[in-house]
Every structure is written in structure tokens, then in C-alpha cells.
Amino acid sequence: MRARFAQVLTTAYLRVGGPALRAALRLSPATQRRLAGQPVVVDGTALDVEMQLILRASSLQPKRMTKTIEAGRATIDREARAVAGRPPIGSVHERLITGPESDLMIRVYRPRGLTGVSPALLFFHGGGFVYGSLDSHDGVCRFLAEYAQIWVVAVDYRLAPEHPFPAAHDDGWAAYTWLREHADEIEIDVDRIAVGGDSAGGTIAAVLAHRGRDAGCAPAFQFLIYPPTDATTRRKSRDIFAKGYWLSDELMEFFLDQYLPPGTDRSDPRVSPLLAESLADLAPAYVLTAGFDPLRDEAEAYAHALSDAGVKVELRRHPGLIHTFANIVGAGHSGPAAMREAARALHAGLHR
């Protein structure tokens, strides 16, 4: 009876939403363990207790794939804000830029204390090319700008299924070339522009690094957070984390079906940058992965392939974390600690 009461209490507590979840992530580790349940160990690695709490809270909410895409997008924005908060920032402004295919909104973050011409990160949000927005990743952009002490320029690229492949990649290139052309206006050092993003945004950034190299305007650095890099091969992590860790195998296939028109070759380097003809002479990279993520192995395979091609790479896996931990910068300890470390690497990469 006591165990059943505790289960009901925990369910009610986590179902309240963002404020209750943030409060739970401030509790002692022992209390968090009682709320989260028995430890989860997969392939010899223990799931971080904060991640387990977040997954339990997420499991109590309506499933994303039972909704319309529009409703799913709203859910992603709301969930992201719940764990990201609004970290302090020096200034934020938006600007509409004109691209060859469409007009794009960018959001420009300047950290407190930044003066003079400085490096920048051109950032692309995740969401499987279907979800995500400037708002869903506002917290992580604020966080990175402040902790890396650089400009961050986030891009509101077009989403599928309304705008299928290669729309997101075309928008990424348009934003990159615009930023290089207008860097002086924003006080950005054109020779120290990094490209980066999480998940699908990491793929856009990786492809941009290839295209920039080939066009003679390579970025200075790649900042890749659990990027999908090979849509042709199932690796071990795709199977052992296929369900139950936020990003699922089913959701990944849903994203690809929405973004790729029928007949698209999944080996196209814009879909699978790991399969590009050459990875040589690309910008130095920081590749960040989560231990409990179906994308873990292909992201790490990309890091190893870059290294084998002579590219300077730092690969960092956080064993107990899950996909989306990059957004969890406003709650708990595990996500913010991992992203502070990543911000230090980003700063170092742009201040060599």
C-alpha cells in the first residue's frame, strides 16, 4: 500500500509540468532516486537520475506522434522552455534576412561584457527537420553565448513536411553566406565563425562545413551536438536505445519520412555527411554525444572519421545523459554542467 501511494504521489507531482519538474531536479540525489524509481542500467552504463526523472515526467504527457505536427511543435517548444528557462543575456534582437529561396528570421545573442569585434556561433536548432524553433532553443543559445563569451546567431530555417529536403540545408547556406557578408555590421569576426547545432541542426552544420570548405569560405570551427550523420546504417545504439529515451527509433523514421521526398538517396552526403567523398581539410570539430541516445554511435563514428581524415577533433560522451540534454540548461545539475563544459570547448575553439 505504501509503495502504491508513493507511485501515485510521484505521478501527480511530475504531471504538474515545468515548475514541479524543476523543483524535483533541485531535490537531493536520494530523494530524486525515490521519485525516479530503480536505477536503469543498459550495456553496463547507468542512466543519470535527473535524466530518469525527466523521462518519467515526459512519459506522463500525451504522445507527440498522436498529435498533429502543429501541436507537436507547440509541445516541443513548451517542453524545452520548461527545462531551459531564460538564462540571463546581454541583449537579444531579431532580424529578417533575404535568402535566394525564402526570407529567414535570425535571432542574435550578445553576452554581457562582450565588446569589440568577436567570434560567433551560427546555430541551427534540432527537431528532426520537423520540430524546433527559435523559441525551443532560446535557452541554450543564451547559455552558450554567456558561457562561451561569443555572439550566437540562431536561424529559423524552414521545416518539413511543408519544406522538404534540401530546404533546411539551403537555408543554412543562405544564413552562413549572409552572416559572412554582414559580419562587420554586427561586430563579428568573419574569420572566427563557428557552425553548430544539436541533432538535425548538427547535420545542417556539418554539411555547411563541407560546403564552406569546397567554396573556399570554410568556417573556423564545428560545434556538433549528437548529430545524425548516416541514415543508411543501423548501429548498436540505434537498437539498444530504440525506445524509452525520448528520441526513439520510430520518431527518427517519422522525421526522415517527413523531410525526405520519396526516392531520396539516403547516402546523399547532405543526408549522411559521414558518407561524403572526403572529410579532409574540414574545420576543427567538437562532437558532443549522450550515452543513452540512439544517435550516439553514428555521431561518434563521424568524429572518428574526421580524425582519420586528419581533422582536429575533440569527442566528448556524457555516459548517463539522453538526447536533448543540451536543452536542459535551466534545471538540475547534469545538463548545465555538460553544457558549461561544451561552452568552454567552443570558446577555446574560437580563441586558438
Structure confidence at residue 16 (pLDDT): 43
At position 27, the amino acid (one-letter code) is L
CATH code for position 119: 3.40.50.1820
Residue 27 has pLDDT above 70, yes or no: yes
246 and 121, same structural domain? yes
Residue 21 pLDDT class (50, 70, 90 cuts): confident
CA separation for the pair 25, 332 (Å, rounded): 5
Q: How many domains does the chain have?
A: 2
Total-model pTM: 0.93
Q: How many CB atoms lie within 10 A of CB 252?
A: 19
Q: Are 323 and 245 in contact (CB under 8 A)?
A: yes
Q: In percent, how much of the chain has pLDDT > 90?
A: 84
CA separation for the pair 220, 281 (Å, rounded): 11
Structure confidence at residue 14 (pLDDT): 46
Q: Are 266 and 231 in contact (CB under 8 A)?
A: yes
Q: Domain boundary at 13, 36, 66, which?
A: 66
Q: Minimum mean pLDDT among 4-13, 44-53, 65-74, 96-105: which range?
A: 4-13
Structure confidence at residue 239 (pLDDT): 97
Coil, strand or helix at 244: coil
Structure confidence at residue 99 (pLDDT): 77
Q: Domain boundary at 66, 82, 105, which?
A: 66
Instruction: DSSP for 260-298, please give it.
Output: SPTT--TTSTTT-GGG-S--TTPPPEEEEEEEE-TTHHH
**Under the phi-then-psi rule, with left for phi > 0, alpha for psi from -120 to 50, and beta for the rest, what region is 268?**
beta
111 upstream amide cis, omega within 30 of 0: no
240 and 108, same structural domain? yes
How many Å separate Cα 140 from the centre of its chain?
9
91 and 45, same structural domain? no
Active-site option among 199, 237, 272, 334: 199
- 103-110, strands of its sheet edge to edge: 91-98, 103-110, 151-156, 118-124, 188-198, 221-225, 285-292, 313-322
80 and 50, same structural domain? no
| Tens-digit pLDDT profile for residues 42-89 | 999 999 999 999 998 877 555 555 578 999 999 899 988 889 999 999
* DSSP conformation class of 22: H
CA separation for the pair 277, 307 (Å, rounded): 15
91 and 209, same structural domain? yes
Q: Which three cell numbers stand for residue 157?
A: 530555417
| Tens-digit pLDDT profile for residues 141-155 | 999 999 999 999 999
Q: Domain boundary at 19, 48, 66, which?
A: 66
Residue 161 has pLDDT above 60, yes or no: yes
263 and 219, same structural domain? yes
Tell me which residue range forms the domain holding 116. Answer: 69-350
315 and 206, same structural domain? yes
Note if 323 is an active site residue. Answer: yes
**Under the phi-then-psi rule, with left for phi > 0, alpha for psi from -120 to 50, and beta for the rest, what region is 322?**
beta
Structure confidence at residue 100 (pLDDT): 80
* DSSP conformation class of 114: -
164 and 28, same structural domain? no
260 and 159, same structural domain? yes
Helix pair 49-59, 29-36: axis angle to 10 deg: 40
Active-site option among 48, 169, 323, 334: 323
Active-site option among 293, 297, 318, 334: 293
Average pLDDT of the chain to the nearest whole number: 92
Q: How many CB atoms lie within 10 A of CB 105?
A: 14
Residue 171 pLDDT class (50, 70, 90 cuts): very high
Q: Which residues contact 31 (CB under 8 A, 6 or more apart)?
A: none
Mean pLDDT of 228-240: 97
269 and 294, same structural domain? yes
Structure confidence at residue 65 (pLDDT): 53
Q: Which residues contact 280 (CB under 8 A, 6 or more apart)?
A: 309, 310, 311
Note if 125 is an active site residue. Answer: no
CA separation for the pair 134, 257 (Å, rounded): 23
299 and 189, same structural domain? yes
Q: Which three cell numbers stand for residue 128?
A: 528532426
Structure confidence at residue 9 (pLDDT): 39
CA separation for the pair 168, 16 (Å, rounded): 35
Structure confidence at residue 19 (pLDDT): 76
Phi, psi dihedrals of residue 346, rounded to the nearest 5°: -65, -45
Q: How many CA atoms lie within 13 A of 2 on its CB side?
A: 1
Coil, strand or helix at 178: helix
97 and 131, same structural domain? yes
At position 275, the amino acid (one-letter code) is L
